[in-house]
Amino acid sequence: MIFTSLHASSWSTVGQPKEKGLFDFDFITWMAWTWPTASFFIFIALSITIMYFWEKKVPGGSPRRGILGLDTTRGDRLFVSLLGSAFIHLAWLGLVGSVLWVATIICVLYFLAVFKYV
């Protein structure tokens, strides 16, 4: 079994300070920090950082006209792929369930298609 002991709260512990966990920082305690949530935000930060250094190395973003008929740069394609991935995951949660590994694989394929054809 995953949980060996239940740490339930009671009325006697209301208002008492909690022990600090790994992701318990004072400025982000409102967020439910799990490993998938943290890895998602780390991925977004790494993507933006990599795009920054790529833009510094090769300026201009290599705009091109894809299947949408619009001129898009690398940043545009990153935004479209991240936004589409969010919608794919939300649709997967609503239609299939909470096993998101297949949705993540679909999103990686979507990401590659967006960067190649859009």
Q: Is residue 74 part of a domain?
A: yes
Q: Is residue 87 part of a domain?
A: yes
List, for residues 13-65, the tens digit of each pLDDT value: 666 776 666 655 666 666 777 787 788 889 999 999 999 999 899 887 778 89
Q: How many domains, in total, are found in the chain? A: 1
Q: Is residue 17 part of a domain?
A: no
Number of C-beta neighbours around residue 93 at 10 A:
13
Please, which pLDDT band fits residue 1 given cuts at 50, 70 and 90? Answer: very low
Q: Is residue 13 part of a domain?
A: no
25 vs 71, higher pLDDT: 71
What's the N-to-C CA distance of the chain in angstroms?
46
Residue 94's pLDDT is: 93
Helix pair angle (74-95, 35-57), 10° resolution? 160
Is 3's pLDDT higher than 50?
Answer: no
Q: Is residue 10 part of a domain?
A: no
Is 114's pLDDT higher than 90?
Answer: yes
Cβ-proximal residues to 76 (8 Å cutoff; 6+ apart), any chain:
61, 70
Structure tokens at 76: 């545009």
Give me the domain span that covers residue 57.
32-117
